[in-house]
């Protein structure tokens, strides 16, 4: 421990880096970031890693403030009562405040054979492994992508553009988030790339073997390489540490992102469940949540009441290979609108967004406190939902203290 206020951030993704950078506004705060790898992962580019057009990593020196100490390790356990962390590599680390930003990864698939024969894609090492598998597969090998959310669509398009024979199994609707107009645009682009889209009833995957995928309607699709993009899971660190979580293991917080168990613990990103009403897991939510978490800690250090969550969304951005994409606009409460930008302009907008994400982090590193998207107005819908659930939401951290 130092003579300053020691704040430790667990997780060096979009949310954790934003929070760590923002905390450096105060000279009397010592910030430590714990992350299992020494480089920042651009998760929004993992499909490009698989397709061979990007490495999906950035040196932390480009996005992390100089005043932040980086510890390359994992946390084995949080001792909230003792305000200390047990590190997987041995030793312990104390804190005055903790920001829990462990992110998300691939969910454990319950489908028979999926864990053994399918390749997940939610993390860097998984994407690197998959890239190696794709490289070794014959050009004519049947590739099946399971899951038609952004990751599945982007991966299918990327590989099809390389000349691969790709089938996209939706398990229902193609791009569930998309407006029907946006969905038609995506379907048209995928068809142009030669992707076979298997959607509608009966397309849930019921089994995966070494060379095939079985569907709920009885069909069996040949598959030399099966890619699994269905769902996200979160690390069980909070649950293992005795902290309150939701059914998926996300840390339960109030609307200031403070743990319902401990005012010294604040959560952000995919691993946070504010008021048991978590936001869509996305980079779009992660960075504002990271900024909000840092502001909560800074407010508590200053003896002020933290502001509450005011998250808004712009839509969903999906690349469709290197030459096309779609930006699906949405209401601020995260429901798709009829309007979208597609084709080549959509690809340019997607790339602008990806570069902008890194720029936001770098800007916050150089000028902490400059990021302000978490303060954009428009959180009325969330407040209405919370009002409707009044009396059912978890207790606030203040009442649990």
Query: What letter does residue 333 receive in the DSSP assignment?
Result: T
Question: What per-residue confidence (pLDDT) applies to 395?
Answer: 42
Residue 317 contacts residue 325 (beta carbons within 8 Å): yes
End-to-end CA distance of the chain: 23
Question: What per-residue confidence (pLDDT) applies to 392?
Answer: 53
Q: Give φ, ψ of 296 to 5 degrees.
A: -65, -45
In three-state secondary structure terms, 186 is: helix
Closest CA to 311 of 333, 328, 327, 329: 333
> Model-level pTM?
0.93
CA distances from 49 to 69, 114, 121, 130, 175 (A): 28, 22, 10, 9, 21
pLDDT along the chain (401 residues), means of 10: 87 98 97 97 97 96 97 97 96 97 90 96 96 96 97 98 97 96 98 98 97 97 97 93 96 97 97 92 93 97 94 92 96 92 97 96 96 78 76 46 36
């Amino acid at each position: 421990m130092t003579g300053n206020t020691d704040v430790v951030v667990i997780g060096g993704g979009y949310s954790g880096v934003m929070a760590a950078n923002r905390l450096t506004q105060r000279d009397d705060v010592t910030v430590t970031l714990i992350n299992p790898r020494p480089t920042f992962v651009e998760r929004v580019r993992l499909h490009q890693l698989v397709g061979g057009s990007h490495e999906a990593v950035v040196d932390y020196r480009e996005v992390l403030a100089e005043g932040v100490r980086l510890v390359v390790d994992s946390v084995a356990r949080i001792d909230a009562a003792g305000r200390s962390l047990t590190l997987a590599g041995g030793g312990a680390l104390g804190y005055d405040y903790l920001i829990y930003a462990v992110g998300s990864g691939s969910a454990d698939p319950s489908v028979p054979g999926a864990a053994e024969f399918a390749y997940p894609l939610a993390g860097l090492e998984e994407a690197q492994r998959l890239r190696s598998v794709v490289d070794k597969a014959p050009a004519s090998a049947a590739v099946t992508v399971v899951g038609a959310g952004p990751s599945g669509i982007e991966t299918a398009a990327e590989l099809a553009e390389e000349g691969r024979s790709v089938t996209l199994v939706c398990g229902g609707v193609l791009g569930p988030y998309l407006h029907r107009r946006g969905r038609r645009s995506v379907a048209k682009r995928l068809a142009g790339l030669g992707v076979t889209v298997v959607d509608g009833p009966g397309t849930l995957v019921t089994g995966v073997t070494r060379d095939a995928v079985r569907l709920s309607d009885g069909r069996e699709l040949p598959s030399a390489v099966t890619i699994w993009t269905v769902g996200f899971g979160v690390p069980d660190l909070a649950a293992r540490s005795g902290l309150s979580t939701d059914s998926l293991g996300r840390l339960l917080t109030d609307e200031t992102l403070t743990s319902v168990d401990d005012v010294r613990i604040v959560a952000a990103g995919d691993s946070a469940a504010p008021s048991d009403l978590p936001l869509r897991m996305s980079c779009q939510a992660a960075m504002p949540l990271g900024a909000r978490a840092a502001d909560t800690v800074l407010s508590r250090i200053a003896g002020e009441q933290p502001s509450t969550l005011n998250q808004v969304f712009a839509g969903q951005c999906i690349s469709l290979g290197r030459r096309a994409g779609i930006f699906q606009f949405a209401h601020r409460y995260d429901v798709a609108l009829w309007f979208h930008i597609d084709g080549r302009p959509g690809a340019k907008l997607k790339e602008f967004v990806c570069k902008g994400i890194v720029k936001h982090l770098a800007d916050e590193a150089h000028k902490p406190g400059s990021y302000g998207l978490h303060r954009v107005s428009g959180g009325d819908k969330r407040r209405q939902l919370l009002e409707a659930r009044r009396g059912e939401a978890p207790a606030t951290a203040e009442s649990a203290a």
